Amino acid sequence: MRVRHKPWAAEKLAEYPEYAITDLIDLKGKWQSAFKKKGPLHVEVGSGKGQFIVGMAKQNPDINYIGIELQTSVAVMALDKIIEAELPNVKLLNTDGGLLSDYFEDGEVDRIYLNFSDPWPKNRHAKRRLTHENFLDTYRKILIPKGSVHFKTDNQGLFEYSLASFSQFGMVIDQVWLNLHDSDFEGNIQTEYEEKFSSKGQPIYRVEAHFPSK
């Protein structure tokens, strides 16, 4: 995602601590205290401009959501959507999604969303894919027993790789969609990328999988 650098973005994030969490030191293992009421904790790794995480928070007010976005100039666009919606059940972290175990205690998260992640198509970059076994091991640790991963992409190669990676890691594949928008799936919240790719007629792939009990 190429976005024009916004030198003021970090300062704006700091101005809204009720939505954008910048001090993570005391929240590991205590994320429920960051929300007005307790509820299942769902995390999106790579939340982009925030359309998905805000849409999910609106749709499910009893679930607490955390969107993680590394690029500050992108995260601030997600912040604008959260501010406008005034949602009490969504927080934004401007940090590296590869460091989840630094921010979340083992068994603290109920579900992880991976939406239109960078496919890193070259084999030598496989370890950077968010469905590589190294990332899956981190997800397994921070998720509750039988915690789930919901994954969407337009990239067939990444989808096939991810299915194999989930299976080889011992995950249980619950459901698979080879063309999400041509299915009877209800309640789908689209990302900005999803709208772009589907408008061109590209199929959207989706999979739900969970880890067996620890």
Residues 6+ apart with CB under 8 A from 77: 3, 49, 50
Q: Is beta strand 41-45 parallel, antiparallel or unpaired with respect to 109-115? A: parallel
Per-residue pLDDT reduced to its tens digit, 190-211 = 999 999 999 999 999 999 999 9
Q: Which of 103, 96, 113 is nearest to 30 (CA)?
A: 103
> Binning pLDDT at 50, 70 and 90, where does residue 1 land?
low
* Residue 54 pLDDT greater than 80, yes or no: yes
Arithmetic mean of pLDDT, 100-106: 94
For residue 214, the model assigns a pLDDT of: 63
**Exposure on the CB side of residue 1, measured as CA atoms within 13 A:** 20
For residue 60, the model assigns a pLDDT of: 97
Per-residue pLDDT reduced to its tens digit, 57-98 = 999 999 999 999 999 999 999 999 999 999 999 999 998 888
Arithmetic mean of pLDDT, 23-40: 88
CATH topology of domain 9-21+32-210: Rossmann fold (3.40.50)
Indicate the domain borders of the chain: 9-21+32-210
End-to-end CA distance of the chain: 36
For residue 25, the model assigns a pLDDT of: 64
**Exposure on the CB side of residue 151, measured as CA atoms within 13 A:** 30
Is 194 labeled as ligand-binding? Answer: yes
H/E segment holding residue 56 = helix 51-59
Is 154 labeled as ligand-binding? Answer: yes
Arithmetic mean of pLDDT, 98-102: 90
Determine contact, residues 102/28, Cβ cutoff 8 Å.
Answer: yes
Determine contact, residues 18/48, Cβ cutoff 8 Å.
Answer: no
Is 174 labeled as ligand-binding? Answer: no
Across 98-102, 118-122, 177-181, least confident range = 98-102
State the burial class of residue 201 (Cβ atoms within 10 Å of its Cβ: 0-12, 13-18, 19+).
exposed
Average model confidence (pLDDT) for the chain? Answer: 93
Is 182 labeled as ligand-binding? Answer: no
Is 191 labeled as ligand-binding? Answer: yes
- Per-residue tokens: 12: 């704006």
Q: Give yes or no: 118 in active site.
A: yes
pLDDT > 90: what percent of the chain? Answer: 86
26, 110, 118, 184: the active-site residue:
118
For residue 195, the model assigns a pLDDT of: 94
CA angle 62, 112, 90 (to 5 degrees): 40
- Per-residue tokens: 91: 């927080």
Per-residue pLDDT reduced to its tens digit, 119-146 = 999 999 999 999 999 999 999 999 999 9
For residue 6, the model assigns a pLDDT of: 83
For residue 56, the model assigns a pLDDT of: 98
Arithmetic mean of pLDDT, 151-180: 97
Q: Which of 95, 73, 103, 54 is nearest to 5 (CA)?
A: 73
**Exposure on the CB side of residue 165, measured as CA atoms within 13 A:** 20
For residue 142, count other CB atoms closer than 10 A to its CB.
Answer: 20
- Per-residue tokens: 207: 């999979």
Is 122 labeled as ligand-binding? Answer: yes
pTM of the predicted model as reported, rounded to 2 decimal places: 0.95
